[in-house]
Structure 1
Amino acid sequence: MKTIIAACSQNLSGSRASLHAALRTLLAVPWPSQRDVRAWLQLLAVLQWVLSFLLLGPVTLVLLIYLVFTRFWPISALYLAWVIFDWDTPEKGGRRLPCLRRWSVWRHFRDYFPVKLVKTHDLSPGHNYIIGSHPHGILCVGAFCNFITGSTGFSELFPGIRPFLTTLAGNFRLPLFREYLMSGGLCPVTRRAIGHLLSENGTGNAVAIVIGGAAESLSCSPGVTTLILKNRKGFVRMALQHG
C-alpha cells in the first residue's frame, strides 16, 4: 500500500511539474503588442469592406437563384417582391441607417490608410450642395470614408449637413448589396436621384460626386494620380439648375 501511495504521489508531483513547465512556456511566448493588434484590426476592417463591395452582391444573387430550386424558394420570391416594391427608393435618397455610420470598425478602416477630413469652409444647413470629389482611385476609399462613415467627424465639422455619395446605378440592382449601399447614404449617380436630393429632400444635403467616375478608376497606377475632368461638366449644370 505504501508503495502504491508513493507512486501516486510521484505521478501527481510529475503532473504538477509538467503543468508548471507548460505555463512557463506559454507565458514565455511573446504576446502581440497593442500596435500589432491595431494593425490586424485595421487590416480586417479594410478586408471586410473590399469583400463586401466585390462579393456581397454576386454571392447573394447566386444564393437567391439557388434557393429558387429548393424548398426555400419563398425566400427568393419574397425578396424579389420587396425589390420590385422598393425599386425607386435609391432614386429618392435611399434608406440610411445612422448606426452603420457609427460602426466602430470604420475607425480602424480610417486608420489603415489613414484618412483625414480637413475643413476649409463652413456649410450652411439652409442650402444644398454638390461636392466634386477626386481622384476616384480604385474603390473611392477617401470619399467613402469621409461621406459614408462617421469616422472622420463629418457631422461634427458640418453640423446639420447630411452627406450622400453617388455611385453607379447598376450597383443598386444587386440583391442585398443595394440595401448595404443605401444604409450608408449612397445613391445612384443619375439626374433623377441627384435632383431629388437637391430639390425635393429639404435642405442640408451635400451630394458628393466622384467626377472621374469608372473611367478614372481604370487609369489608376501606383504613384500616379490621373484626373479625368474634360467633358465632365454635368455636375456643374445640375448645380446651376438647382441654385
Structure 2
Amino acid sequence: MKIEFAPRSIPFERRLQTASVLQWVFSFLGLAQCCIVIFVGLLFTRFWLISALYAAWWAYDWETPNRGGRRVQCIRNCIVWRYMKDYFPITLVKTVELDPAKNYIFGFHPHGILVAGAFLNFCTEATGFSKIFPGLTPYMMMLNVWFRVPFFRDYLMSGGLIPSDKETASYILRKPGGGNVLIIAVGGAQEALDARPGAFTLLLANRKGFVRLAIKNGTPLVPVFSFGENEVFDQVENPKGGWLRRMQDRLQKIMGISLPLFHARGIFQYSIGFIPYRRPIYTVVGKPINVEKNNNPSDEEVDTLHKKYVEELCKLFEEHKLKYNVPEDKHLSFI
C-alpha cells in the first residue's frame, strides 16, 4: 500500500480540528479502559485515598445516571467540540418547530460506527442545539455498561448521556413541564456492523421497544436521519454468514457491544488509521408523530405506530436525500 502523507503546509486550525477528533476517537476506544487502570492503580500507591474517596462518592451517586445524569454546560460548550464540528463538518437541520412544553423521543438513524452526528449534535452545543430548539434538553441513551466505569461515567454524564434502559427512559419522559428529548440510536451497536459508505440498510424492522415506550408515555416520536453518518469510516467486509460476522454477532450477544473492524485515515497521512474521513454530516430532524397514551398497548397498536414511523422516516429520507448528495436511485431498506 502506498502511503499518502499530509503536506506540512496544512493550516494550524485544521491541525486543531484533527486533534479534537483524535481525542474523541480515543474517548470511545480507550478512555474507559484508562479510567479503570487509573482507579485500580491508585489503590497501590500513596494516592490510594483518591480512589477510596471516589469509591465512596460512587456508591452514594450510583443512581444519578438513571435520574437524568449530571450535565456540565462548560464541557458541552467546550471549544474542542467546535473544532470537531468543523472537521467534517457536521450540521444540525430543523424541519419544523417543536413545542418546548412537550417531551419527545428522537429516533436516530443510522447508528454509523461511532455515532458522530448524534454525539456532536445532542451531547455538545457545537452545532447549536439549544439555539435551534430553544427550551428543549437532549438526553442521549448509551449502553448501561459504560456507566459502571469509574471516572468515565462522570465524563459521559457531563454531556447529557444516560443509560439505555426502560426505567431511565421513563424517568426522562415523565418529568413534569416538558422540554425533554430522549435520543435513541434505534439500530444500536448491532447496526454498526453494517455501517460503511453507501449503505442505507437500517436495523429497524423488529425494533419496536422505542415505539412501545412512546405509547406508554404518550410521547411524540420524531424520526431523525443523519446523512453522511456511514460515510466517515470504511469497514472490513463482513458479509452475513461469513466467519467474521458470526464471530462479531457472537461477541455482540455476549458483551453487549459490537466490534466493527473499521478504518479510515491517520493523523499525519491519509491512507490508513482510525481517524474518520473529512466528509460532511447533515443530521435532519423530522416532524413529530403524535402518540396517544396507553399504559398497556396491544401488539397491534405497536405495529401500527411502528409502520407509521417507518413511513415518516422514509419520507424524510426521500425529501432530503438529493440535497445531501445521495443518488436518486438509493432508498432505505430495513432488516
Pick the TM interval, shorter chain: 0.7 to 0.9
Residue 152 of structure 1: SS of its match in structure 2? coil
Match of 2:277 in 1: none
Query: For each residue in 1:14-38, what CA deviation from the matched residue of structure 2 results, as whole angstroms up to 9, or x when unmatched?
Result: xxxxxxxxxxxxxxxxx946xx222
Match of 2:163 in 1: 188
Q: 2:100 aligns with which of 113, 125, 138?
A: 125
Match of 1:15 in 2: none
Q: CA–CA distance in 1 between the matches of 2:38 and 2:29?
A: 15
Q: 1:235 to 1:222 in 2, by over 3 A?
A: same
Q: 1:114 aligns with which of 84, 89, 98?
A: 89
Deviation at 1:223, TM superposition (A): 3.2
Query: For each residue in 1:105-129, what CA deviation from the matched residue of structure 2 results, as whole angstroms up to 9, or x when unmatched?
Result: 1111011111111110111111000
Match of 2:29 in 1: 54
Q: CA–CA distance in 1 between the matches of 2:134 and 2:19?
A: 30
Q: 1:198 aligns with which of 148, 159, 173?
A: 173
Q: CA–CA distance in 2 between the matches of 1:202 and 1:55?
A: 38
**Normalized per residue, which structure has more strand?**
2
| One-letter amino acid matched to 1:61 | I
Deviation at 1:220, TM superposition (A): 2.0
TM-score (ref. length: structure 2): 0.61
Deviation at 1:104, TM superposition (A): 1.1
Match of 1:176 in 2: 151
1:81 and 2:56 matched: yes
Q: CA–CA distance in 2 between the matches of 1:146 and 1:170?
A: 23
Select between 131-140 and 73-82 the one with higher mean Cα deviation. 73-82
Check whether the contact 1:56–1:176 (CA below 8 A) recurs between aligned residues. no
Deviation at 1:70, TM superposition (A): 2.1
Query: For each residue in 1:156-193, what CA deviation from the matched residue of structure 2 results, as whole angstroms up to 9, or x when unmatched?
Result: 11110001111101110111111011000000111011
Check whether the contact 1:130–1:239 (CA below 8 A) recurs between aligned residues. yes
Match of 1:237 in 2: 212
Match of 1:166 in 2: 141
Match of 1:70 in 2: 45
Q: CA–CA distance in 1 between the matches of 2:176 and 2:34?
A: 33
| One-letter amino acid matched to 1:215 | Q
Deviation at 1:226, TM superposition (A): 3.0
1:141 and 2:119 matched: no
Larger Rg: 1 or 2? 1
* Runs of 5+ unmatched residues, structure 1: 1-30
Residue 117 of structure 1: SS of its match in structure 2? strand
Q: CA–CA distance in 1 between the matches of 2:194 and 2:56?
A: 39
Match of 2:185 in 1: 210
Query: For each residue in 1:38-72, what CA deviation from the matched residue of structure 2 results, as whole angstroms up to 9, or x when unmatched?
Result: 21111011001111222221111112212222222
Q: 1:201 to 1:166 in 2, by over 3 A?
A: farther
Select between 56-65 and 164-173 the one with higher mean Cα deviation. 56-65
Q: CA–CA distance in 2 between the matches of 1:153 and 1:60?
A: 30
Residue 182 of structure 2: SS of its match in structure 1? strand
| One-letter amino acid matched to 1:212 | G
Deviation at 1:201, TM superposition (A): 5.4
Q: CA–CA distance in 1 between the matches of 2:214 and 2:197?
A: 33
Check whether the contact 1:68–1:76 (CA below 8 A) recurs between aligned residues. yes
Match of 1:10 in 2: none
Q: CA–CA distance in 1 between the matches of 2:45 and 2:124?
A: 38
| One-letter amino acid matched to 1:183 | S
Q: Provide the aligned length of Structure 1 versus Structure 2.
A: 212
1:40 and 2:15 matched: yes
1:151 and 2:126 matched: yes
Q: CA–CA distance in 2 between the matches of 1:186 and 1:201?
A: 20
Q: Superposition RMSD on alpha carbons, in Å?
A: 1.6
